[in-house]
Amino acid sequence: MTVFVIRRLIQAAIVVLLMSMIVFFGVNVVGDPVDMLVSPEADQAEIARVIRDFGLDRPIYEQYWYFMKGAASGDLGNSFIFGQPALKLILHHMPATLELAFTALLMAIILGIPLGLYAGLYPDRASSKAIMAGSIFGFSLPTFWVGLMLIMIFAVWLGWLPATGRGDTATFLGIEASLFTRDGLSHLILPALNLALLKISLVIRLTRAGAREAIQQDYIKFARAKGLSTGRVVGVHLMKNIMIPVVTVLGLEFGSLIAFSVVTETIFAWPGMGKLLIEAILQLDRPIVVAYLMIIVLLFVVINLVVDILYSLLDPRVRLGEQGA
């Protein structure tokens, strides 16, 4: 187990290094941040000063060297635009994104599992077919389009929920989140639902497939034959079997929730790190793009690790191996 974790971490370090190199050189090819930064009224001397101050006149490998030197001591460089450490900016925006992603994940589980179970247990009912058709739509509807529609319907036409932004936050158990206030919750519902939609469909389909497969297996038939109540069969035996793929996939999909939050955050003006990233890309704030990516890679390594460990706990047949398959 320890060896396994260490191997994983070493791999992660290599990945982070490679990624940083690709992205650093990559973003330095596109455009020129100086034109995005200086006031149009600035004269040539001022432009030259900014280029010099930001080290943009140095050759790219030298810039990378300085970047790596800083990174070794935990300094991922200063944002060109905000003049603050990129790492600090990203960490500052991270809680909002995590809150959004977790809420979406929760929604996916709460809505997805019962619906999927129903569709799996009663595959021939019309309502099941409707659920499955709905899940196809959930897969197919592009996130950005759904976001617009949600704003149009719930914020503009019905006026039930606020259209944009994050609401008031409160601290509970040491976590500051907008989950704990009324205002915060009302702001959270639409973007979280928008983000969750794809995952709800995914969970429905996974659960249904799992249920359909499990139902034909002997131990379920046996449990039924023993005269256990349907509720118990489904709640205990079936669920346990279904949870494995659901947990794995959701764990892995948590990353994609964070990725797709870029879209949702842009539409709902949610002050998370996805919005920070897209603005950094559009404005060529290179240090932010590079730092974001490095943080995300790290995050992913952690998620994958956690999923693997969870998986081994849920399914006693699985052991954490030390070699690749």
Partner 1 sequence: MTIEHTDTAAPVAPVPKVQAPWRRFASEFFESWIARVALFTLLAIIALALAAPWITPQNPYDLAQVDIMDGRLSPGAEAFAGYTMWLGSDGAGRDLYSAILYGLRISLAVGVASGIIALVIGSLIGLFAAYAGGRIETIIMRLVDLQLSFPAALTALILVAILGKGIDKIIIALVLVQWAYYARTVRGSAIVERRKEYIEAATCLGLSHGRIVMRHIMPNCLAPLIVVGTVQTAHAIALEATLSFLGVGLPQTEPSLGVLIANGYEYMLSGRYWISVFPGLALLLTIVSINLVGDRLRDVLNPRLSK
Partner 2 sequence: MTFRRTAASAVALLAVMATAPAWAEKLSIGIASEATAVDPHFHNLTPNNMISAHVYDALIGQDEKQRLIPGLATAWKPIDDTTWEFTLREGVTFHDGSAFTADDVVCTWERAPNVPNSPSSFGTYTKGKTVEKIDDFTIHVKTEKPYPLVPNDISTIYIVSDEGGCEGTTEQFNDLSVARGTGPFMITAYEPGSVISLKRNDDYWGDKPQWSEVDLKPIKSAPSRVAALLSGDVDMIDGVPTTDIETLKNRDDLTLSQGSSNRVIYLHMDQFREDSPHITAKDGGKIKNPLMDQRVRLAISKAINRDAIVERVMEGVAIPAGQLLPDGFFGVSDNLEIEKYDPKTARALLAEAGYGDGFSMTIHGPNDRYINDAKILEAIGQMLSRIGIQTAVETMPRSVFFKRASRGGEGDLPEFSLVLVGWGAGSGEASSPLKSLIHTYDKDRGFGASNRGRHSDAAIDKMIEDALATVDDAMRQDLLAKATEMAMENLAIIPLHYQVNTWAAKKGITYPARTDEHTRAANVVKE
Over the window 279 to 308, marking each residue x when it contacts partner 2 by CB under 8 A and - when it does not, the resulting string is x--xxx------------------------
Query: CB-side exposure of 79: number of CA atoms within 13 Å?
Result: 20
5's CB contacts (< 8 A; 6+ apart) are: 305
- In angstroms, the Cα distances linking 115 to 128, 221, 248, 318 are 8, 22, 19, 28
Which one of 87-95, 175-183, 208-216, 218-226 is the stretch in contact with partner 1 (CB under 8 A)? 208-216
Examine residue 320 and tell whether it contacts partner 1 (CB under 8 A). Answer: yes
75's CB contacts (< 8 A; 6+ apart) are: 85, 87
Tokens at residue 135, please? 């899940």
- In angstroms, the Cα distances linking 40 to 10, 43, 49, 54, 164 are 47, 8, 14, 18, 31
Q: Which of 16, 108, 246, 293 binds partner 1 (CB under 8 A)?
A: 293
Examine residue 1 and tell whether it contacts partner 1 (CB under 8 A). Answer: no
Residue 289: name its binding partner from partner 1, partner 2, none (Cβ under 5 to 8 Å by kind): partner 1
Residue 40: name its binding partner from partner 1, partner 2, none (Cβ under 5 to 8 Å by kind): partner 2
Which one of 73-81, 169-177, 223-231, 259-267 is the stretch in contact with partner 1 (CB under 8 A)? 259-267
How far apart are CB 232 and partner 1 at their closest, in Å?
A: 26
85-144: which residues touch partner 1 (CB under 8 A)?
Answer: 133, 136-137, 139-144
Q: How many binding residues for partner 2 (CB under 8 A)?
A: 54
Query: CB-side exposure of 248: number of CA atoms within 13 Å?
Result: 14
Whole-number Å distance between alpha carbons of 290 and 83: 15
Q: Which of 24, 63, 67, 78 binds partner 2 (CB under 8 A)?
A: 78
**How many C-beta atoms lie closer than 10 Å to residue 256's C-beta?**
14
Examine residue 296 and tell whether it contacts partner 1 (CB under 8 A). Answer: yes
Q: Is 100 within 8 Å of 264 (Cβ atoms)?
A: yes
Examine residue 213 and tell whether it contacts partner 1 (CB under 8 A). Answer: yes
Considering beta carbons, is residue 109 or 288 the nearer one to partner 1?
A: 288
Whole-number Å distance between alpha carbons of 288 and 273: 10
Residue 74 DSSP code: T
Considering beta carbons, is residue 199 or 275 the nearer one to partner 2?
A: 275
Place of tokens 């990725």: 259
Residue 94: name its binding partner from partner 2, partner 1, none (Cβ under 5 to 8 Å by kind): none
Residue 140: name its binding partner from partner 1, partner 2, none (Cβ under 5 to 8 Å by kind): partner 1
User: Residue 148 corresponds to which amino acid?
Assistant: L
Examine residue 52 and tell whether it contacts partner 2 (CB under 8 A). Answer: no
Q: Which of 1, 6, 152, 306 binds partner 1 (CB under 8 A)?
A: 152
How far apart are CB 97 and partner 1 at their closest, in Å?
A: 12
Tokens at residue 55, please? 């080290």
Q: Is 250 within 8 Å of 199 (Cβ atoms)?
A: yes
User: Residue 71 corresponds to which amino acid?
Assistant: A
Residue 16: name its binding partner from partner 2, partner 1, none (Cβ under 5 to 8 Å by kind): none
Tokens at residue 26, please? 């990559």
Interacting residues with partner 2 (CB under 8 A) = 30-47, 49-50, 53-54, 78, 80-84, 89, 92-93, 148, 151-152, 155-156, 159, 161-166, 266-269, 271, 275-276, 279, 282-284
